[in-house]
Structure 1
């Protein structure tokens, strides 16, 4: 369990780094051993998220290369975000993997345990999100996403909100895989969160009551 505060205030046209350099395990909130660095910037309607995933020696084993495929079955960096301060039942799910494949989904999550989730896929070009993997090394991959906040709000005509609920996630493969069709499991991978979802024995990201708070100035 962690006493960290998962609330951040981001002035317009400024960079802000998350103070937590190590995410927490989804199940029990224990600090992960791999460093994850995240920087945020707001420029009007655009929220930029830059990330660095360290301690990732098996990232080349990721085989998904097409957008809006099952990226979560292997290694990804993820963002869940919704407008407003209340615990959301609807939010945007974004995933990017080391091959620069992007997943964009609109999630309806009516229950606190993630029961009855309905996912609507959004073609990445329609979302207005731009993205790229900016660097890779033997054990690190870095990237960035530029997210139109009006897309998060659900309507191109909406003004940018001053408060958003958000969480950041990472799946890290911990051992090499012989099967190219491998999938991440609690036995071979670490499921990490900025604000830990505390989901118990089975790692689970879709717990919006555990999202942090992003305030824009």
Structure 2
């Protein structure tokens, strides 16, 4: 990893609001979704409107993806947003997940990963980014769960730009992640296979710290760190 990544030994840390520890075994689940992602400027798009874990109706959320020679591009769009709720005192890598965020979990490969990148962004464009070490693959209670924080995202090639459209109840964030994080050389992304999942967290001043969770591939627990539920993605 680059010198901008601080290796933190946070074994068996308490779960944040967005994801409580999982059980040792993953319950039976439906086949995970899949998506083909083209080179930019074409887009591969998904929409989801199911909550975690009960799959009840959830405000529609869209994710558009493409790749170029050096980066993975992801556009998040949150529809029917009522609150745009964030903590204005938060800075990079603060617990923005306690408020409203959109998230991606990204791994290059086809297996259920033990390590992956987690990226989050809030409505005021504050970001959270770390490599996750989750050897139980479900954030099992009592198991090792470590975060390796990225502390200089701009230097590493990460960017985020967020806009709010309160009149139409929409917020959107466009992010760029370097393919080098995933050992993909420049110009070599075509044909690579990935595991990813996408999440949105909703809360408000009235219900905080309670949250409503939504996902592209909803886990069967209120726990985002369940890699068997990550969807399959191929760059084409």
Q: Same fold (TM over 0.5)?
A: yes
Q: 1:25 aligns with which of 25, 28, 51?
A: 51
Deviation track 1:37-74 (CA, whole Å, cap 9, x = no partner) reads 11111112211111111122111454354111111111
Aligned to 2:72: 47
Using the size of structure 2 for normalisation, the TM-score is 0.77
Q: 1:193 aligns with which of 215, 223, 231?
A: 215
Are positions 1:9 and 2:66 aligned together? Answer: no
The SS at the match of 2:173 is strand
| Runs of at least 5 residues in structure 1 that lack an aligned partner in the other structure | none
CA–CA distance in 2 between the matches of 1:41 and 1:76?
21
Aligned to 1:151: 181
The SS at the match of 2:80 is coil
Aligned to 1:120: 148
Aligned residue runs from structure 1 range 96-135, under 5 A? 96-115=121-140, 116-123=144-151, 124-135=153-164
CA–CA distance in 1 between the matches of 2:112 and 2:187?
20
Worse-superposed segment, 46-55 or 99-108: 46-55
Q: 2:225 aligns with which of 203, 206, 213?
A: 206
Does the aligned pair in 1 maintain the 2:179–2:185 contact within 8 Å?
no
Does the aligned pair in 2 maintain the 1:150–1:159 contact within 8 Å?
no
Are positions 1:93 and 2:118 aligned together? Answer: yes
Using the size of structure 1 for normalisation, the TM-score is 0.83
- Relative to structure 1, the CA distance from residue 87 to residue 76 in structure 2 (aligned partners, 3 Å threshold; closer, same or farther) is same
The SS at the match of 2:180 is helix
Q: Report the RMSD for the aligned CA atoms in angstroms.
A: 2.5
Are positions 1:136 and 2:173 aligned together? Answer: no
Are positions 1:177 and 2:206 aligned together? Answer: yes
Count of residue correspondences: 202
CA–CA distance in 1 between the matches of 2:70 and 2:94?
27
- Relative to structure 1, the CA distance from residue 147 to residue 190 in structure 2 (aligned partners, 3 Å threshold; closer, same or farther) is same
* Runs of 4 or more consecutive aligned structure 1 residues displaced over 4 Å after TM superposition: 1-5, 155-159
| Runs of at least 5 residues in structure 2 that lack an aligned partner in the other structure | 1-27
- Relative to structure 1, the CA distance from residue 34 to residue 62 in structure 2 (aligned partners, 3 Å threshold; closer, same or farther) is farther
Are positions 1:57 and 2:70 aligned together? Answer: no
